[in-house]
Structure 1
Amino acid sequence: MNSDLANGHLMTDITRLARSVSQLVPGDADRITDIPGLSLHRRKALTAPMHCIYGLGIGVTLQGGKQVIVGSEVLPYAPGESMVTSVDLPVTSHVTQASVHKPFLGMMLALDSTTVMQVAERMRLSQRMRDDAFRPVTVQPLDAGVLDALRRLVDLLKEPHWIETLAPLIKEEIIARLLNGAHGPQLLHVIAAGSPSQQIAKTLAWLKVNFRQALRMDDLAAQAHMSPSTFRQHFRAVTGMSPLQYQKQLRLQAARQLMLIQNIDAGSAGGLVGYESSSQFSREYSRLFGEPPQRDIKRIRL
């Protein structure tokens, strides 16, 4: 099959999956489905940049366009492309192409690192590690096999009695195809025992849970089995920011969720996420989100 014909079939399959997602998400929404880790997304207009955290997983744009900013790198991805995130990472994301008649449609599937490792071991991929420079987020042409598996996963939402039995198997297929494709080297970096990328990934997982605690750089470096200077170098190479900046983004995003979901006031939210100074919290919040806490939350709720 020539490449033009293959691309034609791929776009046809993407259109079909977009139609299914459109039926499952009839209005502007982020639908968290009954399949663990799978969410479906629809927007009828462009969105403002939103700070969020991407974890290990794959995102696919089915219609419209989206852009993700990681540090100073801008990553657009459109129908026919897939985005894989290998570690927990603060990013800025927004929809760049959408309209009422042709809304943005997309999906994201969170992956489990233990399952990724088990599948890689079964495929005997541990010896196929490359020395490519690690990138925490990669955009690659969408693999036809991955697309077909994603379609079958979405179709399970119409047969919920099969979800518990079949969804884990389809997820493993998706992981296997990702490992064997263009995204494979980045996923293998994270699961390769003892690699710097894996050590940093473990640190990121720890920080995601313990971001309220005061940071001691020497302790983090020791846990990663690196010198402080080497640790900082690898941390910045993976995340595009320093450990302190990473912790700050985790704290501020957690505070934003507390104010939005639990109606907690700004001063209390700052204290709950680890800030001792309310003025410092307000200042850093404004720097990240563009407005002071109360004004930002009011704007989001309008």
Structure 2
Amino acid sequence: MNARHTIRNPGKAAATDTLAEAIGRIAQNDGDYFTEISGLTLHRRSASAAPMPCIYGFGLGVVAQGGKRVMLGDEVFNYAAGQSLLTTIDVPVVSNVTVATPAAPFLGLMLALDPRIVMELAAEMEGMQPRKESPDPAISVSDLESPVLDALIRLVRLLDEPELIPHVAALIQQEIAIRLLAGAYGPLLRKFAATGSPSEQIARAVTWLKLNFAQPLHVDELAANAHMSPSTFRQHFRAITGTSPLQYQKQLRLQEARQLMLSQNLDAGTASLRVGYESASQFSREYARLFGAPPLRDIQRMRVDVLAGLPVLG
């Protein structure tokens, strides 16, 4: 899919421009903007950026202007103005803005979805039985459908009425979830919400890994809890997350260590022990392999970027 995607529908193009304008009014400088609406962040970049490893959670990424690339394992997802990217479980990805200039900056948003609400809505909208079909990757790209785009515009514009946010934001977010279930993303969302399906079982395993990444990993136990053989579990896990359970745990550990060093000023040795590493040298090697520099140099660079007011993520 080409990141320089052209919106053929004039009405949709105008709505996408309206969303970009609404984002740009708030995100007037490069950076990531955490808003008063729970789960909604706005993003602006004036130039393309180098690929950066990060964790994408259950939610919807939207490009209103510019283009972005996300890599999940060996798969590459490009999306541009008028398109969105749905992530159904937390997955380690490599992402970066690919289309942005000072005159036409990248403008986008991320909207976290509540799995519990999505599951409840899916059950109400369609009687769901456990499914045994092969799982799909946790990431999918699609054109924004007009009703979803309209709801996103209303959600961002609600930031101009802070007194109404506690009363209206949740209603619009629920509407977005309903429209996603009713639209192109519906089959994928229902698959992950279907109790007993391979996708749902892997999602449960991912949740456990997120909460227990510092503990030793026993894949056979995870497979047994998912009612799968170890080989089947590994196959489904890779199909959904783009990586193996061991590599998934490793990325969770390294991402958490990076945050600890940046936010709590921990040294590399302390951070590595905190996230479950027994060998400081192994931690440094794997950290440099993922982030492109040893821990000390990487954190120093990030702090310089923060002081300069530059975004530290891709």
The answer to whether 1:223 aligns with 2:225 is yes
The answer to whether 1:207 aligns with 2:209 is yes
1:211-263: per-residue Cα shift (whole Å, max 9, x none)?
Answer: 00100111111111111111111111111111000000000000111111111
Which secondary structure does the structure 1 equivalent of 2:76 belong to?
A: strand
Q: For residue 301 of structure 1, report the CA deviation from its aligned partner.
A: 2.3
Q: How does 1:47-86 map to 2 (within 5 A)?
A: 47-86=49-88
Structure 2: how far apart are the matches of 1:115 and 1:45?
Answer: 36
TM-score, structure 1 as length reference: 0.95
Determine the structure 1 residue equivalent to 2:271: 269
Residue 39 of structure 2 contacts residue 111 of structure 2 at CA under 8 Å; is this kept in 1?
A: yes
Structure 2: how far apart are the matches of 1:97 and 1:225?
Answer: 44
Higher relative contact order (CA 8 A, sep 6+): 2
Structure 2: how far apart are the matches of 1:293 and 1:100?
Answer: 31
Q: For residue 12 of structure 1, report the CA deviation from its aligned partner.
A: 0.5
Which secondary structure does the structure 2 equivalent of 1:134 belong to?
A: coil
Distance 1:61 1:242, change over 3 A: same
Determine the structure 2 residue equivalent to 1:254: 256
**What runs of 5+ residues in structure 2 fail to find an aligned partner?**
1-5, 305-314
Q: For residue 274 of structure 1, report the CA deviation from its aligned partner.
A: 0.5
Determine the structure 2 residue equivalent to 1:169: 171
Equivalent AA in structure 2 for residue 90 of structure 1: P
Which secondary structure does the structure 1 equivalent of 2:153 belong to?
A: helix
Instruction: List 4+ stretches of structure 1 deviating above 3 A.
Output: 127-133
Match 2:138 to one of 124, 136, 141: 136
TM-score, structure 2 as length reference: 0.92
Determine the structure 1 residue equivalent to 2:46: 44
Distance 1:131 1:143, change over 3 A: farther
CA RMSD in angstroms, aligned pairs only: 1.7
Q: How does 1:90-105 map to 2 (within 5 A)?
A: 90-105=92-107
Q: For residue 36 of structure 1, report the CA deviation from its aligned partner.
A: 0.5
Sequence identity percentage = 56
Q: How does 1:20-35 map to 2 (within 5 A)?
A: 20-35=22-37
Which secondary structure does the structure 1 equivalent of 2:9 belong to?
A: helix
Q: How does 1:1-12 map to 2 (within 5 A)?
A: 7-12=9-14
Residue 132 of structure 1 contacts residue 185 of structure 1 at CA under 8 Å; is this kept in 2?
A: no
Which secondary structure does the structure 2 equivalent of 1:126 belong to?
A: coil
Structure 2: how far apart are the matches of 1:141 and 1:100?
Answer: 25
Q: For residue 110 of structure 1, report the CA deviation from its aligned partner.
A: 0.2
1:83-137: per-residue Cα shift (whole Å, max 9, x none)?
Answer: 1001110001100011111111000100011100111122125269795751210
Q: For residue 20 of structure 1, report the CA deviation from its aligned partner.
A: 1.1
Determine the structure 1 residue equivalent to 2:3: none
**What runs of 5+ residues in structure 1 fail to find an aligned partner?**
none
